[in-house]
Amino acid sequence: MRTFKKFLVTACLALTFGLTHARQVKPLTGQWQFIKSDVSVKDSTKDTIDGKSWQTVTVPHTWNAKDAQSGGEYYTGTACYRKTVDIPADLKGKRIFIRFEGVGQVADVYINGKKAGSHKGAYSAFCYEITPGVEFGQTNTIFVRANNEPRPDVIPVNHNLFMVFGGIYRPVSLIITDDIHITPTDYASPGIYIRQNSVTEEKADITVTAKLKNDNMASRQVQMRTIVKDAQDKVVATKSSDLTLPSMVVNSYKQSLTVENPTLWHGRKNPYLYSLTVQLTSEGNVLDEVTEPLGLRYYSMDKQKGFILNGEPYRLYGVCRHQEWKDHGSALTNEQHKTDFDMIYDIGATSIRLAHYQQAEFVYDYCDKLGFIIWAEVPFVNTWKGQEGENAKQQIRELVRQNYNHPSIFVWGLHNEVYGSSTMSYPVQVTKEMHDIAKTEDPDRFTVSVSGYGSLKRPMDCHADLQGNNRYFGWYYGAPDGLGPWIEGTRKVRPDTLVSVSEYGAGGNPDHQAENLTKANPISGQFFSEQYQAMIHEVQWAQIEEHPIVWSSYVWNMFDFCVPGWNRGGVKGLNHKGLVTYDRKTKKAAFYMYKANWSDDPVLYIRDKRLKERTNPAADIVVYSNLKDVTLTLNGKDFDSVNPDHCVFTWQDVVLESGKNTVKVTATRDGKTFTDTCTWNVDPSKADLGKGVIASSSETSKGNIARNAADGKTNTYWSTNERNPWIRFELKEPKEVDEISILWYNSSERVYPFEIETSLDGQTWKQALSTKSRSEKGFETYKFDPVKAKYVRIKGHGNNKTAFTAMYEVKLDGLAPVGDAELDKSAGDTQKVEKDKYETWVRRTDSAAEKWRDNRFGQFIHWGIYSLLGGEYDGKTYDYAAEWIQVSARIPGDEYAKLANEFNPEKFDAKRWAKLFKQAGVKYVVITTKHHDGFCLWDSKYTEFDMASTPYGKGVLKELADAVRAEGIDMGFYYSIIDWNHPDYKYAIKSDADRKQYRRYLDYMKDQLTELMTEFGEIKILWFDGRWDPAYKQNPEYGIEIEAHCRELNPDVIINDRVRAYDSLADYDAQYERRLPNTEKLASVDWESCMTIPKKTWGYHKAPGDWKSSKTIVEMLAKCASHSGNFLLNIGPKPDGSIREEEATRLKTVGEWMDRNGQAIYGCSKPDDHLTFSKGIQLSAKDDKLFAMIFDADVDKVTIEGMYKKPESVVLLSSPDANWPAWDYSNGKLTIELPEKQLDPIAPVFQITLDD
């Protein structure tokens, strides 16, 4: 550790110096004055600024200690600090420096009104000489302006991943040296650099470089001496050199030394530290000296064994750490830092990723002592702006120089989740330059960069020595057990690339306890159960441990931390992925799982001990322990021991008693007994499981909980695609049972093989029946020999069409009345549901639905890489829809995917598009984010087949959505269920393997829909397509799952019926594609017609065929509005991003008509059925008005009969100020006479106001 002399600091600091050594370091922590205002230098001595007064604070200090964590508004901007310091007159002739360990994030430093320097970057130290500005023998004022606003030229460029706390949040010190000194201003480094040239068990050859400066006017003779001492303070190596230092410049000087038979620094096993001191002397006087830690070690990487330390494999597993505490922010004391790292040491971690920035100097010193292997990095994270390159290079240089001598550091991190569209893009070039800087500064350590994608083929990947990938299976995407297959797949993609799982984990709130392991929505969910988080870590640590090819793995995160603006997991402003809570008071269950696996200290911990209140009488009791022969005792009854899986002991399906249950686990080691206990209270009545039946099941992870099969409802069900699943029902009391009735899901089309088993104790089971369902409508009753039972269990095996076992409702001998289900004999008949879907549809009456109806007119956009072909391939023109050309031309997938390499829509102008849509009069826009070809118009984390991989290099959705909303138009997204590009997409499901594969694709869909609904502002409409393939069509539960996921993300979103597999409607009927409905048979539901302007194609086609006229388009729109429907008019932009003139002209013409007559469309619906009217017109209604839209140019009058209310007025909408003179009303019939002259180039509209 660096050696500093310490002294007391007061608000006005008087410096006193002993002169034994010329260098002294005086802390300036403690009391400073602070004002949250942008103060000019000339005003910095005033007591009040704009009515605000300076207040006394203690440095380290941040002004965001609480507001950033509130989840609401927080201050980013400029605030100022000042402090007075008395500098004695006898120091004149010395050099005075001021050093800041960290200021968030841009700092301007002044001494007595003179600027000492400016620094950009919140996490690295900086040091300025202030000698010219010091008034010796006087009181000196230090003034600091700090600013933590995000800015494009300083990394990080935003606060999206973590908070950049404002303030002087780390220690400050004055450094006083002789004129001849080791420079403290070489990027605020120690000024000496210890390179370990060759280290073995026999000897260690090192080279020390010192940067020395002589501030005298003439050259000076000095002696440079390097001294290495062991841990017992014994000198083991020394070297002296006589030097002539030239005047006024900094020069580097090297010395080489050898330590014989060194004790190696070997991580946690033996973190042995030498000390190395560089001393400058002249004529027996010590002019300056600096002492640094020296841990002698050597390391390498092996493709099969991972990290090798001192010739031995050394697994790197551990955690990431943010430098902040609740109510303290980043202004931490060394004692708080120590608490964090002692806790990390306690869990047994061998390595730490100090993410995502340089941390306090104490941290690196303490890690050297504890033996952690450290990944140190700079905050080039999340995104890039194109202006931050110089600052990123500055910060990597600062990181390396300031921490060069720490033996704990083995790798320099260059970036985290920053992406470029090609290897020539800006962030790639910056990364390469940062790598070159790091390797030039430090040739012996590795560099690493990190991607949030699973692929190793993106343009930003593999430009460092090592590659890290952040993988959140089971949380943001995929299944919890997807990590292992991903690890194995990396070797197929890049056999020679060493890969780290640089982040993994899930959110968990210890206040959230759940019996079912149901995944929350990670973006907007408010319930993050501790159990689900623990399960994720159980599964994924096991997979990591079994793959030593992973050179390191890091849990994200050791501690909860602040993310401003987040509202997740029940606490605003917080990321809950920590193993320990933000206040450091609670260790979550997963903490003990890791401690059991990583630490040699005895661990025995009941995972669900905080789940005290329960409703389910059956439970898996999970215990974490690294002890052997763990035994379980429940309510005094002993259970046999079970074999652990990676230190996880699980007693499955243990029956609990109603009321209080005492759980105790016991184990021994070396003759000492360890126990852990907890108490659970079971109250089945609180489960709302139906009358008389308590239900549980093997299915615990998908939200299809057992009570759905015993709740008396036929619109809920229990379903699972697990192999050999079961669902169990507990009776009120043991009784004789001889039959069971089951209402199967889709009963008339599926055959379900199953067994009925009974039990008196819930442990020993006896088969009562083995049979299969009979494909009947409604409940099927199965009889068997009478048997006394307390529990009845149904064991399933899927069905004849899918792997799912699914049922709506179960009846057990009348003990569980099922309400209306008994009367609904056709509830399981999907064909009946299909037939009656219009009758069962329920109209939404919320404001979002009302607004969608009132909008009436929308803009559809089909755009993607298919536009490059324009309906032509290999010299042939395909008349069918251009967006289907991959199929119609039978283009191989690999060949088709190459189109992405050519897609560069340089003429795309989102604002120009939006202004055209506004001009057209549309009220909502829907764009194809992903069509059937799978190509994505945004930069998706889950595929490389997207805009980011094109020459254009970035997504278009954000820009378009912002532009559309700026014009007052609602934004909607089209998303295809079909994906011809995705490897897991299946046309049909024919086996269990197919089903598992399609399950992965469904998770992919949900992940992408989460992106679409959370990263582009509020999406008002989701327009699904492609439900016709058998894999989706024949498994309606998939559609229910997708729809539920979307509504969880945004309950107000409008979703079309194509999300469902034909069996029912969602919010509206979207079946009318390139056609209008038969209005005589139109059901009373919300509906929409989507229409092309050319005859056949949606996407851009070079030969589109006949174009609809503007009048035809308007008439279609009018017909929709006059029958209570919406009209979605499509365009297909060209591959360069421009809109072809034929479409733009028609949109403008339609818009001109809407300007005159839009009142007849917006908010209008079908008039009363008893009205009859002339052919050639469309009649719409709104409030007390009718609108007659006349499209037949040959008519000379309009008649409307059946009008029970007399018209109050009739006006031509294009001239609304004048009452139309030629109309007559008699006996319920209105006649409007028309002149011979044309009233409107498309269709005149008469507004008829009725008299109440």
Q: Which pair of structure tokens corresponds to residue 249?
A: 């410049």
| CB-facing half-sphere around the CA of 114: CA atoms within 13 A | 12
| Residues with Cβ within 8 Å of residue 895, at least 6 apart in sequence | none
DSSP lists the bridge partners of residue 167 as: 104
Q: How far apart are CA 1090 and CA 922, in angstroms?
A: 13
Q: Residue 961: in which H helix or E strand, if any?
A: helix 957-966
Return the sign of the alpha-carbon dihedral for residues 844, 849, 851, 852. negative
Q: For the packed helices 334-347 and 361-370, what is the interaxial angle rounded to 10 degrees?
A: 30
**Cβ-contact 850, 774 below 8 angstroms:** no
Return the sign of the alpha-carbon dihedral for residues 463, 468, 470, 474. positive
Q: What are the φ/ψ torsions at residue 681 (nearest 5 degrees)? A: -110, 125
Q: For the packed helices 1036-1049 and 992-1014, what is the interaxial angle rounded to 10 degrees?
A: 20
Q: Answer yes or no: 417 catalytic.
A: yes
Give Cα separations from 623 to 534, 535, 667, 687, 1085 (angstroms): 11, 12, 11, 25, 54
Q: Which pair of structure tokens corresponds to residue 576?
A: 């809950």
The total number of residues shown for the chain amounts to: 1252
- Whether omega before 356 lies within 30 degrees of 0, making that bond cis, reads yes
Q: Residue 1155: in which H helix or E strand, if any?
A: helix 1141-1157
Q: How far apart are CA 124 and CA 150, in angstroms?
A: 17
Place of tokens 């729809």: 1043
Return the sign of the alpha-carbon dihedral for residues 332, 333, 334, 338. negative
Number of other CB atoms surrounding residue 424 within 10 Å: 11
Q: How far apart are CA 791 and CA 789, in angstroms?
A: 5
Q: Is 852 helix (H, G, I), strand (E, B) or coil?
A: helix
| CB-facing half-sphere around the CA of 716: CA atoms within 13 A | 16
Amino acid identity at 387: Q
Q: Residue 995: in which H helix or E strand, if any?
A: helix 992-1014
Q: Is 1146 helix (H, G, I), strand (E, B) or coil?
A: helix
DSSP lists the bridge partners of residue 448 as: 413, 466
| Burial class of 652 by CB neighbour count within 10 A (0 to 12, 13 to 18, 19+) | exposed
Q: How far apart are CA 926 and CA 1055, in angstroms?
A: 12
Q: Which pair of structure tokens corresponds to residue 333?
A: 């004391």
Tell me the H-state helices in 519-653: 530-545, 589-598
**Cβ-contact 251, 211 below 8 angstroms:** yes
Per-residue buried b or exposed e for 462-500, using 16+ beta carbons within 10 Å of the residue's own CB: bbbbbbbbbbbbbbbbbbbebbbebbeebeeeeeeebbb
Q: What angle (nearest 5°) sits at the alpha carbon of residue 116, between those of residues 110 and 118?
A: 95
Active-site entry in 292, 324, 398, 417: 417
Q: Which pair of structure tokens corresponds to residue 902?
A: 């050519």
- Whether omega before 105 lies within 30 degrees of 0, making that bond cis, reads yes
Active-site residues, by number, are 417
